[in-house]
Homo-oligomer: A and B are copies of this chain.
Amino acid sequence: MSIRVPFDTVKETVKKALLCAGLSQEQAETCAAIHTQSSADGVESHGLNRIPRFVEYIQKGWINLEGRPVKAGGFGAVENYDGQMGIGIINALFATDRAMELAKEHGIGCVALRNTTHWMRGGTYAWRMAEAGFVGISWINGESCMPMWGSDQMGVGNNPICMAVPREDGEIVLDMAMSQYAYGKLGVYRLAGKKLPYPGGFDKDGNLTSDPGAIEETMRILPTGYWKGSGMAICLDLMAAVLANGNTGIDQNAALRGSCGGSCQIFIAFNPYLFATREEVQAKLNRRVAAADATHPDREGGKVTCPGERTKVTRARSMKEGVAVDETIWSQICSIAEGNLDVKDIASF
């Protein structure tokens, strides 16, 4: 069951919970704002639902609250930072901002971060770039949680890639994991007693299935586009580990520090106004997006949209009516905020 809670109440409660978990005022303020925004944008799986697990990771010592991005190297438009296993959100925000600084100086900027922890919602950083007026690409490599195409054994991370387009009349932002459905989504469908709209993995007999429970059992989630998502996932892993001089997915498997513990993250920002004026660029973006959105829907009452457009609608509703939060998760967070850190991670992703 979902309830709606005012944005500021959510944020203040999450902040209290994070202070109880040992974060500094500044860390708690930043992380609470990001987690609340993720839920407000409709990405609950990596918003509030992640708080109990985040607290658990801190207690296990998998996140180093003293960790800060330390410059490990730099050359021209590229910089490399060691995240010291610090808070994923804080490290990733730093890297995003630094990539944009480099882009101001060099036209393009790339920050490659290693030894960092889960960045939570990948789209956070792409939205930040788009809102600041930059085109952007970012991705992460994680531990093996998806079989590669042709395999029935975990072989590669579900490495999301994000893309940012700074359209001022509505940012266009892609936040795309490499599996067709997230584990969290499977649980949502199973609990609702529903089948997935399209096959999302393999059952124990090795057949493609839309039964979420059967996929949870085998953990054989389907790469998006079958062989395609599998191929992109391994490329993103290799590129991230090389560019950041950090861990590959299998190095993370071996280290056992939770999801994306010790991962690499890449942030590339481009100045979109090098060769055309802001007005020209914005007019072009508006024209193209309008044309896409105007294509004929495949069903009565349907509406074609570009990535990010629905997020803005969800965001506006959350600001007006409150942020939708799962009741159980909310009571857990309230409990943490009262100092009870011994909370079980009930969300599965």
Give the B-binding residues of A (Cβ under 8 A): 72-73, 75-78, 80, 105-108, 110, 112, 135, 137, 147-156, 163, 165, 167, 172, 174, 176, 180, 198, 202, 206, 224-226, 228-229, 231-232, 234-239, 241-245, 248-250, 268, 270-272, 274-276, 280-281, 284-285, 287-289, 291-292, 295-299, 302-307
A–B pairs, 6, beta carbons within 8 Å = A78-B270, A80-B275, A108-B268, A165-B239, A244-B275, A250-B288
Cα–Cα distance between A243 and B289 once the two chains are bound (Å)? 16
Besides the known contacts A165-B235, A237-B288, A242-B272, 4 further A-B residue pairs in the complex with CB atoms under 8 A apart:
A137-B239, A152-B296, A155-B295, A238-B288
**Cβ contact of A107, chosen from B77, B288, B289, cutoff 8 A:** B77
Contacts of A285 in B (CB 8 A): 238, 242
Shortest beta-carbon distance, A297 to chain B, in Å? 6
Shortest beta-carbon distance, A246 to chain B, in Å? 9
**Cβ contact of A80, chosen from B156, B248, B274, cutoff 8 A:** B274
Smallest CB-CB A-B distances: 7 pairs: A224-B225, A76-B106, A78-B107, A155-B295, A245-B275, A76-B107, A153-B296
Output the residue of A163, A242, A305 with the most chain B CB within 10 A.
A242
Contacts of A231 in B (CB 8 A): 174, 176, 306-307
User: Which residue of chain B has the shortest Cβ distance to A202 in the bound complex?
Assistant: B298
Contact B238 A172 (CB under 8 A): yes
Contacts of A165 in B (CB 8 A): 235, 238-239, 242
Contact B107 A276 (CB under 8 A): no
Q: How many copies does the complex hold?
A: 2
Shortest beta-carbon distance, A160 to chain B, in Å? 11
Instruction: Decide yes or no: A198 and B224 within 8 Å by CB, A77-B107, A234-B306 being known contacts.
Output: no
Contacts of A243 in B (CB 8 A): 135, 270, 272
**Cβ contact of A235, chosen from B235, B239, B250, B307, cutoff 8 A:** B307
Contact A232 B174 (CB under 8 A): yes
Contacts of A292 in B (CB 8 A): 148, 155-156, 234
Q: Could you tell me the dominant secondary structure of chain A's interface residues?
A: mixed
Contacts of A302 in B (CB 8 A): 150-151
Contacts of A229 in B (CB 8 A): 224-225, 228
Contact A242 B106 (CB under 8 A): no
Contact A226 B238 (CB under 8 A): no
Contact B248 A284 (CB under 8 A): yes
Cα–Cα distance between A149 and B174 once the two chains are bound (Å)? 14
**Cβ contact of A288, chosen from B112, B163, B202, B241, cutoff 8 A:** B241
Cα–Cα distance between A19 and B202 once the two chains are bound (Å)? 52
Contacts of A295 in B (CB 8 A): 147-148, 151, 153-155
Shortest beta-carbon distance, A281 to chain B, in Å? 6
User: Which residue of chain B has the shortest Cβ distance to A166 in the bound complex?
Assistant: B242
Cα–Cα distance between A112 and B297 once the two chains are bound (Å)? 33
Cα–Cα distance between A117 and B319 once the two chains are bound (Å)? 46
Contacts of A305 in B (CB 8 A): 150
Contacts of A110 in B (CB 8 A): 107-108, 270
Cα–Cα distance between A66 and B126 once the two chains are bound (Å)? 40
Contacts of A234 in B (CB 8 A): 172, 288-289, 292, 306-307
Shortest beta-carbon distance, A113 to chain B, in Å? 12
